[in-house]
A and B are shown apart, each in its own frame.
Chain A
Amino acid sequence: MATFFGEVLSVFSRAVEDEEDDEEEEEEEDRDILRALEDKRQVRVRWSSPLSPGGGDRLPRCPHLLLAVGPTASRFVSVYLLSRGHWDTVGQVCLWNERTVGSEEAACVLHRDKDNNVLVCLVDCFVAEDQLFQWTEQVMGCVDTTGLQVTVLSDCPAAEYRTAEPLGAAPVLRSLHTTSHKEAPCCPPVELPNLVTGLPAAVLSFCQLHHISAVLYQSYSDERCPDSSSMEVFRPAVSRLANALGLDLSPNVDLLRKFISQASVQSNLYI
């Protein structure tokens, strides 16, 4: 796309895929293949044990849901929250798409603290556009949303944040919350014309429509791989929740060192 200033921007096609005229003329074999592929792309929630004694399809009431979407956010939660205290793995959200490595499904693991106060879900895999809605409906459908507080942490490249003044080198945090969320967020809001996309958008939209209190904290960073400064930016976002629940937010240094060393080896082409 050529802009007013003459530079050429490569933009995602603004949805000008025309409809197929011959939808009804597919061969039966093609239809079977498409159906099988559609079935393979279904999002499924698998629980470690039956959800409730009566065999119902909802988790026992848990007042907080914390979603960490993206490599930096998930590593932050692993290093700062899940590495301390007692957490149970209660299930996983399994999905497959064309970007899943290997033939096995990718899994987003669900953890719950021992006092049943907070359910944590780490999402470090790619969730395709056509799976976002289903992912959200499946997970939120298993949770009792009465009085639920949802916090979503997500990371994004700083280059995608549009602003009149440059953001600077350090990672920044921005927030977006539903109408039902009454507490003041701990950082400025996502300024216009910036948008939120992907799984955070799907979850926030669901919460807005269903009048659930939800807040998204999105970090914008220049770092290609998660490091301590890009993870540390999330700390204010969960400190209130951690204090309220008596959770320790100090980082597990060994785990942090392991994540950072993995990233630095991968990023060096010359060794």
Chain B
Amino acid sequence: MFVPSQKSPPDLKGFTLIMPVVAVGNVGQLAVDLIISTFNMDRVGHIHTDCLIPMAGSNPYSTGKEDADGVHTAAEVYISREMKLAVLQIRSPVIQKRTKKFRQVLVSWMKASGFSRTIVLSSSQAYQRDDRQLQGSPLRYLVTPSMLKLSEGALKELGWLEMEKVQAFPGLMDGNAEPRLYIPGGGITKGLYTDSCAEDLPLAVLLLFCSEGDNIPDAFTIINHLNSWLHLQDHPCEDPNKWKIPPSWTLMFGSSIPPAIF
């Protein structure tokens, strides 16, 4: 459930929600970090749930002592009132047997808050692409029917590729098998998308084919792709420094090499 930081919960009706899914390369989460850091968004609450592995830390976007604002938790909500933008950051994995419950928590909160639209940033395993997906852009999108009504024109103009449906058992000739949506490495992406279709929520998924490794370039790829639609920033491709990297990204692959080993 949503627990506000202040006594009264913020009014998020009509806001656009951007949220990540914990997926391969953590690309969605890194991209959301860039949004929160760049626009200096305010934390307004937490999602308090037993579905996520607990974690705690200091302010990941802190630039100095004055920014220290207690403990930051596994799922937090940030907003920018000027941009009418809400962002949910998820910082730890979903406990495996509680994925369905977590999707229900998210969908209930999305409905209760009255967001005008939700955009989910996700990723999928690059090594499981089929022949068509190996060529061209590694970016894909999915929209629920109610989101399609809102954004059909914009998506046509952008010329984005919709996520292809694939055969369940490629190569096995089975005329009865319907192609299905398959997002390997996408965590709860598919489930959240199908739940949102069932609940008639306006939701879009932006996903990137990638592999585990240094996924910072992937985060920039997906955030620039999102920006070409939402125009959160003007012309960031001309100036990549416009996306502000948060201090929490330092030492991402471990400590420096200890001099004592030489």
A86 — which chain B residues lie within 8 A by C-beta?
none
- Contacting chain B: which of A70-78, A195-203, A228-236, A253-261? A195-203
Residue A177 lies at the interface, judged by CB distance under 8 Å to chain B: yes
Identify the closest chain A residue to B168 (Cβ). A21
Residues of A191-220 whose CB lies within 8 A of B: 191-198, 200-202, 204-205, 207-209, 216
Tell me how far the C-beta of B42 lies from the nearest C-beta in chain A, rounded to whole angstroms.
Answer: 14
| Cβ-defined contact, A14 with B48, below 8 A | no
Cα of A132 to Cα of B99 in the assembled complex, Å: 17
- Contact, CB under 8 Å: A162 / B54: no
Is B256 an interface position by the 8 A CB rule? yes
Q: Is A269's CB within 8 Å of the partner chain B?
A: no
- Complex CA–CA separation, A3 to B216 (angstroms): 12
**A residues 1-22 touching B (CB-CB < 8 Å):** 1-5, 9, 14-19
- By beta carbon, the residue of chain B nearest A164 is B256
B254 at the interface (CB under 8 A from A): yes
Known: A134-B50, A205-B73. A18 touches B57 (CB 8 A): no
Q: List chain B residues, Cβ under 8 A from A130.
A: 50, 95, 97-98
Chain A residues with Cβ below 8 Å from B188 are 19
Chain B residues within 8 Å of A179, by CB: 69-71
B-contact 0/1 string along A175-197, CB 8 Å cutoff: 01111110000000111111111
Q: Does A129 contact B (CB under 8 A)?
A: yes
**Chain A contacts for B173, CB-based, 8 A:** none
Q: Please, what's the 1-or-0 string for B34-68, where 1 marks a CB less than 8 Å from any CB in chain A?
A: 00000000000010111001111110101000001
Number of interface residues of B (CB under 8 A): 58
Residue-wise, chain B 220-257 has the 8 Å CB interface mask toward A (1 for contact) of 00000000000000000000000000011111111110
Given the interface pairs A18-B186, A134-B50, A208-B70, the reply to whether A193 lies near B255 with Cβ below 8 Å is no
Asked whether, in the complex, the Cβ of A192 is within 8 Å of the Cβ of B255, the reply is no
How far is B100's CA from A196's CA once the two chains are assembled, in angstroms?
Answer: 26
Q: A1 contacts which chain B residues (CB < 8 A)?
A: 212-213
Chain A residue at minimal CB-CB distance from B23: A16
A16 touches B214 (CB 8 A): no
Known: A1-B213, A3-B214, A177-B71. A198 touches B54 (CB 8 A): yes
> Counting chain B CB atoms within 10 Å of each CB, which of A1, A137, A207 scores highest?
A1
**Contact residue among B56, B184, B252 (Cβ-Cβ distance under 8 Å from A200):** B56
* Chain A residues with CB under 8 A of B23: 15-16
Given contacts A15-B187, A205-B74, contact A166 B56 (CB under 8 A): no
Minimum CB–CB distance for B106 against chain A, Å:
13
Q: Which residues of the other chain, B, contact A201 by a CB distance below 8 angstroms?
A: 54-56
Interchain CB contact (< 8 A) of A15 among B93, B247, B252: B93
Q: A17 contacts B54, CB within 8 Å?
A: no
Tell me, rounded to whole Å, the shortest Cβ–Cβ distance linking B90 to chain A: 9
Of chain B, the residue at the smallest CB distance from A133 is B50
Contact A193 B93 (CB under 8 A): no
Contact A189 B58 (CB under 8 A): yes
A86, chain B: closest CB distance, angstroms: 34
Please name all residues of chain A whose beta carbon is closer than 8 Å to the beta carbon of B68 when the two chains form the complex. Answer: 189
Chain A, Cβ-Cβ closest to B97:
A130
A146 at the interface (CB under 8 A from B): no
Q: Which residues of B contact A208 (CB under 8 A)?
A: 46, 56, 70-71, 73
Q: Does A23 contact B (CB under 8 A)?
A: yes
Q: In chain A, residues 21-70, which have Cβ atoms closer than 8 Å to a Cβ of chain B?
A: 23
- Can you name the residue of chain B whose Cβ is closest to the Cβ of A207? B71
Nearest CB on B from A9, distance (A):
7
> CB of A117 within 8 A of chain B?
no
Verify if A100 is at the interface (C-beta below 8 Å from B). no
Distance between Cα atoms of A189 and B68 in the complex (Å): 10
Contacting A14 at CB < 8 Å: which of B50, B191, B212?
Answer: B212
Is B190 in the interface zone, CB < 8 Å from A?
yes
Q: Are B24 and A196 within 8 A (Cβ)?
A: no
Q: How far is the CB of A254 from chain B (nearest CB, A)?
A: 36
Bound together, the chains give a CA A4 to CA B25 distance in angstroms of 14
Tell me whether A163 is interfacial, beta carbon within 8 Å: yes
Asked if A3 and B253 make an inter-chain contact with CB atoms under 8 angstroms apart, the answer reads yes
Does B260 sit at the interface, judged by CB under 8 A? yes
* Contact between A176 and B255, CB atoms less than 8 A apart: no
CB distance from B81 to the nearest CB of A (A): 21
6 A-B pairs whose Cβ atoms sit less than 8 Å apart in the complex: A14-B24, A19-B100, A177-B70, A192-B248, A197-B56, A198-B54
3 closest A-B pairs by CB: A15-B93, A179-B70, A133-B50
In the complex, besides A23-B100, A205-B55, A205-B71, 17 extra interface pairs with C-beta distance below 8 angstroms are A14-B26, A14-B93, A15-B94, A16-B187, A19-B100, A136-B54, A137-B50, A176-B71, A180-B70, A181-B70, A192-B62, A193-B251, A196-B57, A198-B54, A200-B56, A201-B54, A204-B56
